[in-house]
């Protein structure tokens, strides 16, 4: 259910920037969601279709980009992309890792008319 509030935030940001640019319509939005983020693309799209209705963002295409997860081993310094559920360092087998990327969530760009 938290997708509703984040979708509302995306819409507010997009509308604010579009209106500041005297845009007639918002055509598309590029949204970055890391693989570890707990945000579901389909839910964002569902809420977007509901709340954008009647605004200059109605009908805008949401384009989702899911960058891979990157971890850094705190013991040996190895940076890697983990397997599906295996976060252990492939170099030294340590579980002492830091997330470098994968939790991102942001609106990267907006295309307007």
Q: Mind listing the pLDDT tens digit for each residue in 42-62? A: 999 999 999 999 999 999 999
Topology adopted by domain 2-68+101-112: hypothetical protein PF0899 fold (3.30.2320)
Residue 1 predicted with pLDDT over 70: no
Question: Which residues, in sequence order, are bridge partners of residue 46?
Answer: none
**Can you point out the beta strands (E) in 11-65?**
26-33, 61-65
Between strands 61-65 and 26-33, the pairing is parallel
CA distances from 86 to 16, 71, 82, 83 (A): 41, 11, 6, 5
Residue 2 has pLDDT above 90, yes or no: no
- The count of other CB atoms within 10 Å of the CB of residue 37 is 14
Give this prediction's pTM: 0.85
Segment 97-106, tens digit of pLDDT: 999 999 999 9
Rounded mean pLDDT, 63-90? 93
- Asked whether 57 and 89 are in contact (CB, 8 A), the reply is no
DSSP letter (8 states) at residue 81: -
User: Where does the pLDDT of residue 33 fall: very low under 50, low under 70, confident under 90, or very high at 90 and above?
Assistant: very high
Mean pLDDT, residues 105-109: 96
Written as six digits, the tokens of 46 are 């569902």
Q: Share the mean pLDDT of the chain.
A: 95
CB 55, CB 19: distance < 8 Å = no
Question: What confidence score (pLDDT) does residue 11 get?
Answer: 98
What was the pLDDT predicted at 52? 98
**Side-chain half-sphere exposure of 44, counting CA atoms within 13 A:** 23
């Amino acid at each position: 259910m938290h997708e509703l509030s984040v979708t509302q935030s995306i819409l507010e940001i997009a509308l604010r920037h579009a209106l500041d640019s005297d845009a007639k319509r918002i055509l598309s939005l590029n949204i970055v969601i890391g693989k570890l983020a707990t945000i579901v693309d389909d839910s964002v799209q569902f809420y977007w279709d509901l709340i954008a209705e009647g605004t200059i963002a109605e009908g805008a295409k949401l384009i989702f980009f899911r960058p891979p997860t990157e971890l850094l081993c705190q013991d040996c310094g190895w940076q890697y992309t983990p397997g599906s559920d295996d976060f252990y360092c492939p170099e030294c087998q340590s579980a002492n890792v830091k997330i470098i990327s994968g939790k991102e969530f942001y609106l990267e760009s907006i295309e307007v008319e």
